[in-house]
Amino acid sequence: MKGAIVTGSARGLGKEIAVMLAKEGYATAINYRKSGKEAKKTLQVLIEINRNCLSVKGDLTKQQNVKKLFESAKKKFGRIDVLVNNVGDFLYKPLLQTTKKELMGVIENNVATALLCSKEAIKAMRKQGYGRIINIGSTGCDELLAPEMTTPYYMAKTSIWLLTKALARAAGEGITVNMVSPGILKTSIVKKEGVEYTSFDEVTNAILMLIKSSHNGKNMAVARWKPEG
């Protein structure tokens, strides 16, 4: 049985990624922190596609919750073939009004979760000799942007870009680590007039392409659509 984990996947982009993976034959574990009602509905959709899917609640900035998620998935699926690090808080606020707590929250929720989950995934993938890790970034995060209202968020996503490179080197034979950086989605908190939204299909198709890649580990790509501006 092929197994996949998608973090932050009760709704929005995470949900669409989970549904895509289920349709591709992956028993998929979704994760949520607060969106219990949405997670229940998403799981129902997934189970109609693949009855082996499951839902695991937990704040993934905490190591014990990461272990719980991966242990639950490995017990159910037997293996972890794909990890999509989608979870990540967004903050829209002037930088000089941003508190230390808010800054650290955005960094931890985006970067720490990706690192902790990737470390657990790599443990399982090394034993299998195969695995695919996809990190979700944001358009422009590789260009060291510092937007006035979203600087902490871009700090976090640029860190994810660097983390992707480092993980791609360290992961091991047969494991690829890549990054997909979408533009503004219809479900994005902040929208801009006159900008064509990135569709869920564009993002999920890019992820699927990277998952199906035959490259034998140690590669990193940044895929992007419809830049914000």
pLDDT average per 10 residues of sequence, the chain (229 residues): 96 96 98 94 98 97 98 97 94 93 96 98 96 92 83 93 95 94 72 72 94 64 46
Domain 3-224 is classified in which CATH homologous superfamily? NAD(P)-binding Rossmann-like Domain (3.40.50.720)
Q: In the prediction, which pLDDT does 229 show?
A: 38
User: In whole angstroms, what is the distance from residue 67 CA to residue 185 CA?
Assistant: 31
Rounded to two decimals, what is the model's pTM?
A: 0.91
- Tokens 């979408």 belong to which residue? 182
* Domain limits, the chain: 3-224
Catalytic residue among 26, 92, 130, 153: 153
> What are the pLDDT digits (tens) for 206-215?
999 999 976 5
% of residues, the chain, pLDDT over 70 = 89
Active site (annotated) includes residue 153: yes
Contacts of 154 (CB under 8 A, 6+ apart): 138, 140, 141, 145, 146, 147
